[in-house]
Amino acid sequence: MKMSPITKCAFIILGLVIGSLGLKEVVGGLSASSWPSTQGEILSSDIKYYSNSKGHTYGASVTYSYTVDKRFYRSNQISFGSYSGSYSHAQEVLNRYPKGALVPVFYDKSSPDNAVLEKGVGFGAYIALYGGIIFCLAPWGLSYFWKRFEQNPSLPL
């Protein structure tokens, strides 16, 4: 069985899109390690429910305000590469950021509207980055296994 060029291109394009989103999050998280901080206030802190045909997940939704150079900002980005998961994971995040709490907010000096509550790179960024790489390489890997199987169908894949 041979993979069509259109299918190969679809895998590669999807991989590039997913991978570039992950890379953007990884680079953002790494650059945030040198960002200055200011004090912010948690305006809202809720659990969001996401559902699709494969199941459901929960995510922390935190909105906060902060001031840089006497200018007021509002954001909802907890970290680079945040992800939705279990209810308990979302609750852990919310426990760190209850409504009304005063918290450090890390912001980009060149673009103060770009801010996070947690420095570093979240797990979701790496999932997207490596998932994109896997999608880009999948056509060659699948072609290898199909070719091997066609040569000797009794071999395990």
Q: Give tens-digit pLDDT for 11-52.
A: 888 888 988 888 888 877 778 889 999 999 999 999 988 887
Measured distance CA(149)–CA(141) in Å, rounded: 12
pLDDT recorded at residue 109: 94
pLDDT recorded at residue 66: 98
44-48: long-range contacts (C-beta < 8 A, 24 or more apart)?
Answer: 44/99, 45/94, 45/97, 45/98, 45/99, 46/94, 47/87, 47/90, 47/91, 47/94, 48/84, 48/90
pLDDT recorded at residue 156: 64
Residues with pLDDT less than 50, the chain: none
**pTM for this prediction:** 0.72
pLDDT recorded at residue 80: 87
DSSP 3-state of 80: strand
Answer whether 81's CB lies under 8 Å from 122's CB: yes
Looking at the DSSP assignment, which residues form a beta bridge with residue 96? none
pLDDT recorded at residue 18: 87
pLDDT recorded at residue 37: 95
